[in-house]
Amino acid sequence: MQKIKTALLSYGMSGKVFHAPFINFHPGFELVGAWERTKKLIREDYPTVKSYFALEALLEDDVDLVIVNTPVETHYEYAKKVLLAGKHAIVEKAFTTTVAQAQELAALAKEKGLKLAVFQNRRWDSDFKTVQKIILDEVLGEIVEAEFHFDRYNPLLSPKQHKESANSGAGILKDLGPHLIDQALCLFGLPKAVFADIRITREHSLVDDCIDILLYYPDFRVRLKAGFFVREAIPSYVIHGKKGSFLKPRGDVQEDDLKLGKKPNLDTWGTESKSKEGILHTQINNDVFIANVETLQGNYYDFFEGVYQSISNDTQEPVTAQDGVRVMQIIEAAIQSSAQKKAIDL
């Protein structure tokens, strides 16, 4: 197996928690190093790798794949440089700050014959995978409405300046919003129209921190919500069909385990507590059925396996650049809708 030599564009939380552990664990990748501007931390965890002093040094090195995990407003600039250097790329969410930027990167990757994937790891959360199976199994009948939440209680501003300064990549719409939007598009495809209410609720905040997005499909609606003033959360996934309903709390354990320094595996990784099981209340064979549903196992390893296969065997990326374009289309429509207080046709 020829290993794909991989480098990170930063080694903060996302590099340390979401990327390096899986790159290091997957037998098809070799973690080469990271671009570290000030703090030199990657060698504390991976002593044999490199700490690059400049982006140019990284791009001139023997690297096959670069993970663009820098602040959102830099994604377009850095991803373009990576592709122009002839490297495959994984770009964190939000993919870019505009649809035009996303389309340009997608076209550039295609022109260069390179793989470009968007890191939408939440498709491999245990809770979402379970919701996805419920919908695919059609046990709810024809879908009438769905509501997805990414709620937290945290009224304090982030100490990370790029998250709280008024820049083109900041705000909850481009932080948690892409997770919710991507999951909705993954399940239901592109909607016909978008209505959104985007607000600032925290004291002294300069960026949006509360979103309510309504996606219009021909026969049903999907609502996406995220905010920082939810002390008592309702189920994160609520799906109603003409036969029944499914309610599922957010319960994926991967992020928490990774922050504790636990290493991924292929056996027990991503296994939720039974206390987080969803409730299915529906009609099966004319009988009313109410029961907890066992949660499927989650594993972000599957995203990286998809990237490995796409590069090694020229298969489609697990989350394509076009997927990233579509998420940006929803984000731009949401901004326009909130400003104009009306639904925006896509």
Q: Say how far apart CA 163 and CA 12 lie, in whole Å.
A: 14
Q: What is the pLDDT of residue 2?
A: 83
Q: What global pTM score does this model have? A: 0.96
What's the residue count for the chain? 346
Q: Coil, strand or helix: which one is 344?
A: strand
Mean pLDDT taken over the chain: 97
What is the rounded distance in angstroms from the CA atom of residue 269 to the CA atom of residue 257? 9
Q: Buried b / exposed e across 235-266, counting CB within 10 Å, b at 16+?
A: bbbbbbbebbbbbbbbbbbbeebbeeeeebee
Q: So where are the chain's domains?
A: 4-121+303-318, 126-299+330-345
**pLDDT tens, 220-243?**
999 999 999 999 999 999 999 999
Residues 126-299+330-345, CATH architecture: 2-Layer Sandwich (3.30)
What is the reported pLDDT for 38?
86
Give me the mean pLDDT over the 308-318 stretch. 98
4-121+303-318 and 126-299+330-345: identical CATH topology:
no
Q: pLDDT band at residue 161, thresholds of 50, 70 and 90?
A: confident
pLDDT above 80 (res 197): yes
Sign of CA dihedral 236, 240, 241, 245: positive
Q: Which residue has the higher pLDDT, 113 or 160?
A: 113
pLDDT value at residue 203? 93
Q: Give residue-wise pLDDT tens across range 89-111.
A: 999 999 999 999 999 999 999 99
Q: Give the span between the Cα atoms of 40 and 36, in whole angstroms.
A: 6
Contact (CB, 8 A) for 239 and 143: yes
Q: Which CATH superfamily is domain 4-121+303-318 in?
A: NAD(P)-binding Rossmann-like Domain (3.40.50.720)
111-147 pLDDT, tens digit per residue, is: 999 999 999 999 999 999 999 999 999 999 999 999 9
pLDDT confidence of residue 24? 98
pLDDT value for 10: 97
Which has more pLDDT, 284 or 295?
295
List the structure tokens of 287.
């009988």
Can you spell out the DSSP letters for 132-201?
HHHHHTTTT-SEEEEEEEEE-B--SPPS-HHHHSS-TT-SGGGTTHHHHHHHHHHHH---SEEEEEEE--
pLDDT at 163: 87
Q: Is pLDDT above 90 for 39?
A: no
